[in-house]
Amino acid sequence: MTPKLALGALLSFLLIAGWFAIQEAAPTNTEGLTDWVSFEEAFELAQQDNKLLLLDIYEVGCKFCREMEETVYPSPAVKAIIEQSYVPVRIDGNSDNPLVWKGETIPSSQFAQEMGVSAYPYTVIMTPEGQVLDRKRGFLSALEFSQLLRQYRLSQSS
């Protein structure tokens, strides 16, 4: 094999492998999933509709984040509870995307740090005033997740 042919084969392999890696890491856009709201809009909507905020703090490329996105959030039980009682927000915990928190513009990664994120996925349930009611680290099954959401939905209405 000539050096040019070997180099061409190596470059082709790297391009194909890189493409597959990007496809694996990219968040999916599956129809019928939760309608995510921006962080800034969420507080206003939650106050207007008397709902809690559900923050899904994720990391691009996270296997369990993707599994929650593909199997937990589309679950009819989970989706119904979210639509009825929560304003859902997705935040990339490693991003420098700015968001406004307590009157200050900070990177999403700093917000994740302030929430105590140590692993992904990380779920935060919060009042429209920004009070954290609960935080859960890691993957939750649809049953576990719907139980968590019901717990706070019920306590909210009491």
- CA 52, CA 29: separation in Å to the nearest integer? 24
Q: Where are the domains of the chain?
A: 30-157
Q: What's the pLDDT score for residue 28?
A: 43
For residue range 61-84, what is the model confidence (pLDDT) as tens digits?
A: 999 999 999 999 999 999 999 999
Q: Between residues 14 and 52, which one has the greater pLDDT?
A: 52
Longest Cα separation, the chain? 76
What's the pLDDT score for residue 35?
85
The 3-state DSSP class for residue 147 equals helix
pTM of the full predicted structure? 0.76
Q: What was the pLDDT predicted at 20? A: 47
Phi, psi angles (nearest 5°) of residue 36: -75, 145
Cis check for the bond before 121: say yes or no (omega within 30 of 0). yes
Pairing of strands 132-137, 98-101: unpaired
pLDDT digit string (tens) for 123-132? 999 999 999 9
Q: What is the DSSP string of 29-74?
A: --TTS-----HHHHHHHHHHHT-EEEEEEE-TT-HHHHHIIIIITT
CATH code for residues 30-157:
3.40.30.10
